[in-house]
């Protein structure tokens, strides 16, 4: 759950910066197509950028020596035919809350789609090329949704005003604006924790109106088109459609009557490049030493021979098999003279893992039978504190989160030393969970 929350936090930060730039420099300018693609692109960048890891190598005297010590523990869980009752934890509560809120918004979204479908079925529809033209007497019309154009019988189609409104709605259909609305609705349903996605969705809808107004109003009759918006303002409760009489009337009129060429247009557009560079440097850059040469030395230790092994949770597992640990030491050319170690040495470290590791985590979370090698990396600093804990695998079922929590709550370590000086060191901890399929 911590990893998911950290991902959402990064998405919120990135989208917040990108939206903030839009709000300060791009909003209410007349390059509407650019703004539309900028905002849609901002959502995609926000979702994808946290997954990228840009590694830049450097060489310096302050380079952090990295010693990887790997301890692999194989655990055998209970048989799958036994009944498990998951423990109520904060992770379970937060996950359940997230799912329920997401389902609520998804249900509301589906109900809106159902209302549109029912409205389309209620009235007779005529085919105009590939457009379904529906004459209605409903409030909030006219509006369009994909290839459905819902018209209001009170507006004569063969008048100048009627033709302008029709032109406006046809533009929405031709430019497939409904696809963008659906995408943003689903995005805000899944990422309802992110307020900036709501702001982006609102702005995209307004930009769609700007574009359609620009298409429907000619240069000579801007005043008449603005007057049309003022005289026939209606309200609609449909959030998925492109209604002609939108609630952003003031901004639409200002955009129609403003000058065609805003100042510093090109500069405002290209300023996004340094903004993106700053975001990448904040979120996705990982610096490491270039002098890395690895070799592995493997030793096998039978965990059953360790002192007080009978005090671990292993004995509570039916049909548990012998457990073997595998310790690997990865050596680098900047090898430290004294490696970081758990207080009490490797024996205490293995005992700590035995006492606190819950082998039933994958089973409790519904993992199917199989072997799951989980690996977590962390840094031991010069004071012995653990930091920068991150999972290197992504099997799910709570295994990575459990190991991260176990390591983060542990006591201080003895820091590594190089030339008599305490230094930082990177360590890796793999744990292999085995879900038995025996009955």
pTM of the predicted model, to two decimals? 0.59
Q: Based on the structure, what is the number of domains in the chain?
A: 2
142 prior amide bond cis, ω within 30: yes
Residue 131 in any domain: the answer is: yes
The vertex-334 CA angle with 333 and 339, nearest 5°, equals 115
CA dihedral of 116, 117, 122, 125, whole degrees rounded to 10: 100
In which band, very low, low, confident or very high, does the pLDDT at 274 lie, cut at 50, 70 and 90?
Answer: confident
101/78 same-domain check: no
Residue 289 in any domain: the answer is: no
233/379 same-domain check: no
Average pLDDT, the chain: 76
322/224 same-domain check: no
Does 58 score more than 50 pLDDT?
A: no
What is the distance, to the nearest Å, from the Cα of residue 201 to the centroid of all Cα atoms in its chain? 16
Which range has the worst mean pLDDT, 32-41, 258-267, 273-282, 396-405?
258-267
Helices within 232-344 (DSSP H only): 249-257, 265-270, 272-283
- Three-state helix/strand/coil letters over 198-248: HHHHHHHHHHHHHHHHHHHCCHHHHHHHHHHHHHCCCCCCCCCCEECCCCC
227/358 same-domain check: no
129/221 same-domain check: yes
- The pLDDT tens digits for 243-262 are 555 546 777 777 777 765 55
102/8 same-domain check: yes
Which residues constitute the domain of residue 325? 60-85+294-331+336-435
- The pLDDT tens digits for 142-185 are 999 999 999 999 888 888 888 888 999 999 999 999 999 999 99
305/182 same-domain check: no
Residue 288 in any domain: the answer is: no
Domain boundary among 244, 260, 282: 282
C-alpha span between 111 and 123 (Å, rounded): 19
3-state secondary structure of 56: strand
347/268 same-domain check: no
224/299 same-domain check: no
Residue 24 in any domain: the answer is: yes
264/352 same-domain check: no
Burial of 366 (0-12, 13-18, 19+ CB in 10 A): exposed
19/74 same-domain check: no
Tell me what the mean pLDDT of segment 287-306 comes to: 36
Residue 287 in any domain: the answer is: no
Reading the block at residue 401, the tokens are 């989160």
Phi, psi of 162 (to 5 degrees): -60, -40
194/298 same-domain check: no
Reading the block at residue 322, the tokens are 């012998």
Domain boundary among 253, 282, 311: 282
- The pLDDT tens digits for 183-225 are 999 999 999 999 999 999 999 999 999 898 888 886 656 777 7
- The pLDDT tens digits for 81-98 are 444 445 577 778 888 999
**Which one is predicted more confidently, 312 or 49?**
49
């Amino acid at each position: 759950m911590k990893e998911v929350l950290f991902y959402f936090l990064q998405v919120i930060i990135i989208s917040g910066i990108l939206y903030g730039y839009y709000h300060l420099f791009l909003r209410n300018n007349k390059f509407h197509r650019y703004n539309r693609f900028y905002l849609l692109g901002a959502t995609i960048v926000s979702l994808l950028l946290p997954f990228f890891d840009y590694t830049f190598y450097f060489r310096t005297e302050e380079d952090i020596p990295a010693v990887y010590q790997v301890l692999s523990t194989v655990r055998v869980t209970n048989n799958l035919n036994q009944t498990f009752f998951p423990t109520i934890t904060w992770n379970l509560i937060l996950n359940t809350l997230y799912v329920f809120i997401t389902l609520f918004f998804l249900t509301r979204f589906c109900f809106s789609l159902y209302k549109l479908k029912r409205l389309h079925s209620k009235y007779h529809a005529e085919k105009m090329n590939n457009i379904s033209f529906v004459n209605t007497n409903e409030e909030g019309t006219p509006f369009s949704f994909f290839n459905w154009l819902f018209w209001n019988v009170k507006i004569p189609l063969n008048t100048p005003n009627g033709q302008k409104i029709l032109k406006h709605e046809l533009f929405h259909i031709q430019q497939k604006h409904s696809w963008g609305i659906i995408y943003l609705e689903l995005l805000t349903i899944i990422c309802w924790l992110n307020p900036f996605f709501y702001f982006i969705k609102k702005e995209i809808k307004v930009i769609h109106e700007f574009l359609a107004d620009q298409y429907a109003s000619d240069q000579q009759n801007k005043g008449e088109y603005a007057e049309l918006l003022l005289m026939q303002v209606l309200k609609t409760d449909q959030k998925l459609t492109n209604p002609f009489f939108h609630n952003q009337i003031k901004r639409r009129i200002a955009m129609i009557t403003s000058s065609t060429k805003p100042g510093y247009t090109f500069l405002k557009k290209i300023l996004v490049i340094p903004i993106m560079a700053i975001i990448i440097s904040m979120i996705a850059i990982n610096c490491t030493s270039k002098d890395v040469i690895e070799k592995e030395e493997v030793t096998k230790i039978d965990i059953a021979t360790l002192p007080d092994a009978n005090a671990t949770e292993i004995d509570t597992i039916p049909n548990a098999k012998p457990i073997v640990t595998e310790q690997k030491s990865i050596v680098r050319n900047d090898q430290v003279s004294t490696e970081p170690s758990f207080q009490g040495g490797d024996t205490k470290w293995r005992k700590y893992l035995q006492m606190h590791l819950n082998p039933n985590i994958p089973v409790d979370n519904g993992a199917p039978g199989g072997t799951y090698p989980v690996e977590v990396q962390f840094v031991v600093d010069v004071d012995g504190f653990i930091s920068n804990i991150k999972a290197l695998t992504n099997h799910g079922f709570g295994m990575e989160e459990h190991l991260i929590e176990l390591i983060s709550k542990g006591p201080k370590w003895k820091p590594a030393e190089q030339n008599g000086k305490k230094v930082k060191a990177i360590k890796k901890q793999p744990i292999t969970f085995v879900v038995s399929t025996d009955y």
